[in-house]
Amino acid sequence: MKKKTKKFIILIVVSVLIFLSVFLPLPYYIELPGSAENISQYIKVEKQSKKHQKGELMLVYIRELHATPLTYAMSYLNPFAQRDSAKNLYQGNTEDDYQKIQQYYMQDAINEAEYVAFKAANKKISRKYLGLYVMSVMPNSSFKGKLKVGDTVESVNGKHFDDSQGYTSYIKSLPKNSKITIGVQSGKKHLKLTGTTQKLVGTNQYGIGITLADRTEVKPSEKIKADMDGIEGPSAGLMMSLQIYDDLTNHNLLKGRKIAGTGTINAQGQVGDIGGADKKVVAASNAKATVFFVPNNPIPKEVKQAYPDLKTNYQEAKEAAKKIHTKMKIVPVRTFNDAVKYLENTN
């Protein structure tokens, strides 16, 4: 083999290896600190009459990258990077079903944020329970191949309940392997599907055989403009509720501050835990936020015994803040009212 030919082959091989290291997708994702942005560009009351005030409320999000060999290796240089397999991330769902679930989480977060904010501002809003949102269908379910992720179970044997507990309690009361008819909304269609109750994996209980979430609909008395395109999941719930509440009232909550935060919200105003609290602290600090709200819910004793190293979101956030030497105030909250009271009583 001639010397020039040998060099050419080596060059080709090296080029291919470089190309693969940069572009070859691996079955992994990398979570990194993302950004913090003014939430009013995503959600606000359309006809707000209050004057502009200095400061802003900020949602915080995490960057999620599809890993390549190069980015996967480089992620070990970032103390806040976290690697996760695609299998674990999707939890057995297809990518399309995963996206449907993320869209559900976001719409549900918007609904709950509106409800909490309007109630707190003494404004009219109605909330209707639609049924059980199908997150997945278990392999042994008699409705496998009939129900799909994104469908809504509206009734069971002609009965509609006002919460998921009502449905599960009724189904538990039925004899084993009972024939059952469910009313389902699938897209724009309303269907009747029949099957039998099946033993739920890992339990002695019988059910439809789905993992589920509550699906609700709210109708506020004032129009809300919401465009959360590109933002996934429910973790902006708290900050959305604060933004709507701030729009609806004449309270000066901001007082010139850049206020960031994270946490889910439910209809009772409780702030739920989220993932990646440490990464969100970094993103908020980089955006010059001076306040960062974070959930501070206690870890159940039995969970702590099983996972002794598990930390609360607040503990994770405090450790991250210390690591990056930020002066940003880390504020623990458990409810929407905790956050409002803090903003009202501090400067």
By annotation, the residues acting in catalysis are 235, 280
CA separation for the pair 339, 261 (Å, rounded): 10
- Phi first, then psi, for residue 51 (nearest 5°) are -75, 155
Max CA pair span of the chain: 85
Nearest to 212 by CA among 277, 123, 136, 156: 136
As a whole number of angstroms, the distance between CA 238 and CA 241 comes to 5
Beta carbons within 10 angstroms of residue 142's beta carbon: 19
Closest CA to 312 of 302, 300, 329, 326: 300
According to DSSP, the residues that pair with 265 across neighbouring strands are: 271
Query: What is the bridge-based pairing of β-strands 291-295 and 179-186?
Result: unpaired
List the 189-196 sheet strands across, edge first: 189-196, 179-186, 152-156, 125-137, 210-220
Evaluate whether 293 touches 331 at the Cβ level (below 8 Å).
yes
Do the strands 291-295 and 329-333 form a parallel or antiparallel pair, or are they unpaired? parallel
Q: Are 266 and 20 in contact (CB under 8 A)?
A: no
